[in-house]
C-alpha cells in the first residue's frame, strides 16, 4: 500500500477520534497526517512524511489548540429575549400579591405580569424590585 494512503487512513481515524472526544487533542495529529499524505503523494518518502507529520502536529498543537480551547470554554456572551431581563431592576406598577393573583412591574420600559418570588410577600406599587426569574410571560421578583 502506498504511504500516502496510510497517512489518509490515519488522518481519518484521528479525525473520527477527535469528533468522538471533542477535546481538540487528536485534531492537530489529523492535520499533520493530511499534510504528511500530501508530502508522500508528492514523492517524499516515509522519513520526510513522518518528519512533516511530527512538525505540523506539534505546531498545530502548540499554536491552534490553546485558541480552540479558549473558544470552547467561553459561555454565551449575549443574553437575549426574556433571559436578558434576569438580574435587572424593575419598578412595581401594580401591587404584587400572589394570593390575589395580581401584580405587574415595569422592566426596561415594558410592563410585565409579576409575582413575588416569596409567596407570602406583598410588594406595594412604586417599590424597586429585582428580577429573579422569568417563567413564561411572568417575572418573579424580589
**pLDDT confidence bin for 50, thresholds 50/70/90:** very high
Residue 51: per-residue pLDDT = 97
DSSP structure string for 50-91 = HHHHHHHHHHHHHHTHHHHHHHHH---S---GGGGGTT-EEE
State pLDDT tens for residues 68-120: 778 777 766 677 888 889 999 999 999 999 999 999 999 999 999 999 999 89
User: Residue 49 in contact with residue 37, Cβ under 8 Å?
Assistant: yes
Residue 76: per-residue pLDDT = 66
**pLDDT confidence bin for 3, thresholds 50/70/90:** very high
CATH number at residue 96: 2.40.50.140
Residue 67 reports pLDDT greater than 90:
no
Residue 77: per-residue pLDDT = 67
Longest dimension (CA), the chain: 83
In whole angstroms, what is the distance from residue 129 CA to residue 41 CA?
69
∠ CA 106-109-93, nearest 5°, is 25
Instruction: Name the residue range of residue 58's domain.
Output: 3-73
Q: Looking at the structure, do residues 93 and 136 belong to the same domain, yes or no?
A: yes
* Domain final residue, candidates 21, 50, 73: 73
Between residues 23 and 122, the one the model is more confident about? 122
State pLDDT tens for residues 8-38: 999 999 999 999 987 788 999 999 999 999 9
User: Residue 94 in contact with residue 102, Cβ under 8 Å?
Assistant: yes
Q: Looking at the structure, do residues 103 and 51 belong to the same domain, yes or no?
A: no
pTM, entire model: 0.53
**Over residues 41-54, mean pLDDT:** 94
Determine phi and psi for 26, rounding to 5 degrees.
-85, -20
Q: Looking at the structure, do residues 107 and 69 belong to the same domain, yes or no?
A: no
Amino acid at each position: 500500500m502506498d504511504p500516502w494512503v496510510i497517512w489518509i487512513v490515519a488522518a481519518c481515524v484521528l479525525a473520527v477520534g477527535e469528533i468522538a472526544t471533542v477535546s481538540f487533542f487528536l485534531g492537530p495529529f489529523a492535520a499533520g497526517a493530511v499534510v504528511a499524505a500530501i508530502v508522500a503523494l508528492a514523492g517524499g518518502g516515509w522519513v520526510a512524511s513522518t518528519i512533516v507529520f511530527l512538525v505540523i502536529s506539534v505546531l498545530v498543537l502548540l499554536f491552534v489548540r490553546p485558541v480552540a480551547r479558549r473558544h470552547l470554554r467561553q459561555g454565551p456572551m449575549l443574553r437575549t429575549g426574556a433571559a436578558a431581563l434576569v438580574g435587572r431592576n424593575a419598578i412595581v406598577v401594580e401591587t404584587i400579591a400572589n394570593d390575589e393573583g395580581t401584580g405587574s412591574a415595569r422592566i426596561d420600559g415594558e410592563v410585565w405580569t409579576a409575582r413575588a418570588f416569596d409567596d407570602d410577600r406583598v410588594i406595594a406599587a412604586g417599590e424597586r424590585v429585582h428580577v429573579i426569574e422569568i417563567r413564561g410571560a411572568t417575572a418573579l421578583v424580589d
